[in-house]
Structure 1
Amino acid sequence: MLELKDFMPINYLKKEKFTGSHQGMRFRMEKAELDGEERPKLKVTVWPEPYGYDATPQDEKTETFLEFDADGLSKGVEWINEQFESQQLRWKAVSRG
């Protein structure tokens, strides 16, 4: 299980994207400016290995948008863990090759 301490703080995400992987699942957190929204959102995306974000087709990615603050970051980590648990066969199929 991934923990909040393993992620970059929200101040880092103001300028950079954060990516990582966990047992066949890749993830990315980034600041997102959405049309019609006054405040930025935290975009959190997961997808199966082996490819990076840009090389993976959009239909293989699952994403959510949260508040761009420390609470949103914490909820983002929880969401990544939920995705890992709920789609275990998807990640294991990739890690087995």
Structure 2
Amino acid sequence: MSQIGSFTRSNDGTYTGSIKTLAIDVKARLVPSEPASTSEKAPDLRVIVSGAEIGAAWRRTSKEDRTYHSVKLDDPSFTAPIYANLFEEDDGEFALIWSR
């Protein structure tokens, strides 16, 4: 696993930071989704880069009872979606950890 992003959380629930891999290096925001759907499958957050939505995130709870977000990033320029998890670190920052 590798850290591909770092974020801070504001009081309104928005995460602001950056995502960096060998192929991308962008500033990103994860913003709370509008409650347009009552579906349990609806994402909790939308991933926004340069005004375009490139992904979504769903709140999960680990076996250790730790809350995190499961993130899916996708864009026509990607050969395949990128899956990652957003975890809170001990210092209050949030790390986006890539998983295959």
Q: TM-score, normalised by structure 1?
A: 0.40
Specify which structure has the higher proportion of strand: 2
